Amino acid sequence: MNFLRDLGAVQNYTPFDVVLNLILAFILGLTVTMVYRLTNRHRAVNQSLLLTLIILSMVVALVMMVIGNSIARAFSLVGALSIIRFRTVVKDNRDIAYVFFALVAGMAAGVGNYPIAVFGVATISLILLLLDYTQFGIARKGIYLLRFQVVPTDADEASYQEIFKRMLSSHSRLAVKTVRMGQFVEHSYLVRLKKNVSDQELINTLAALEGMERVILLSEESEAEI
């Protein structure tokens, strides 16, 4: 019975505790947002997501104070939130990770576990900044995914293979398939440009070939994000 009574107990927060927890949640959410902005400075960042990270931290902190130790309130909250439908598509897995980061920061602040909240967010933030500084996982420069469509003839491969030898230091075929009801053949290559060759020069040279329909050149990093 004591165990059940403890589960249903409601933790009392003074106004000072509420304000302190929310301010801490705001600071932690702002920290997460700044780290997100710094580690994604080369990408177009949605302002809505930045505000969401801050709001999420404070709202979750408030939710944790409302729930307290009450199991009944926790289940009631789950039932209330189940009617909400989130239709926004998150394109980058890193965005999802930062949303969870802000959520956990708000939880730690809401329950008043200040050491975990402060030192946990600080440690993860420093690690993320270190990974960004060392460019961990960044694709190697000079490697591209080349796709082009050409009219199928006996001499089509010889025409662009000569360009490959002149402008590429290496190339590896990935796929070949027919498109547009067999009117064209689409080739996919993983290529590395020579030092004195630009990507635009390769595109223009291939596009000038007879029978060439379209040429697409994507960096390895861009292809990974599509």
Q: Where are the domains of the chain?
A: 2-133, 143-225
Torsions phi, psi for 134 (to 5 deg): -85, 0
Mean pLDDT, all residues of the chain: 80
Give me the pLDDT at residue 78, please: 64
Average pLDDT, stretch 181-190? 84
Q: DSSP H helical segments within the chain, as ranges?
A: 2-7, 15-39, 47-67, 71-81, 93-110, 114-133, 156-167, 199-207, 220-225
Question: Is residue 7 predicted with pLDDT exceeding 50?
Answer: no
Question: Is residue 131 predicted with pLDDT exceeding 80?
Answer: yes
Alpha-carbon torsion 96, 100, 103, 109, what sign? negative
Taking alpha carbons only, the member of 88, 113, 84 closest to residue 24 is 113
Distances (CA, A) of 57 to 7, 22, 86, 130, 157: 25, 8, 17, 23, 57
Least confident of 14-28, 48-62, 84-98: 84-98
**Which SS3 state, helix, strand or coil, does residue 159 take?**
helix
Average pLDDT, stretch 109-133? 91
Give me the pLDDT at residue 120, please: 93
pLDDT class of 19 with cuts at 50, 70, 90 = very high
**CATH architecture of the domain formed by 143-225:** 2-Layer Sandwich (3.30)
Give me the pLDDT at residue 225, please: 43
pLDDT class of 77 with cuts at 50, 70, 90 = low
Least confident of 84-93, 192-201, 213-222: 84-93
**Alpha carbons 196 and 142: distance in angstroms, whole number:** 11
Confirm if 61 and 110 have CB atoms less than 8 A apart. Answer: yes
Contacts 24+ apart (CB under 8 A), 47-54: 49/95, 52/99, 52/102, 53/29, 53/98, 53/99, 53/101, 53/102, 54/26, 54/29, 54/30, 54/102
Average pLDDT, stretch 17-46? 89
Burial (CB count <10 Å: 0-12, 13-18, 19+), residue 148: buried
Give the range with max mean pLDDT: 3-7, 43-47, 87-91.
43-47
Q: What percent of the chain has pLDDT over 90?
A: 18
Confirm if 13 and 66 have CB atoms less than 8 A apart. Answer: no
Average pLDDT, stretch 198-226? 75
Give me the residues paired with residue 185 across strands: 150, 178
pLDDT class of 183 with cuts at 50, 70, 90 = confident
How open is the CA angle 121-103-18, to the nearest 5 degrees?
85
Distances (CA, A) of 91 to 29, 49, 78, 144: 21, 12, 26, 22
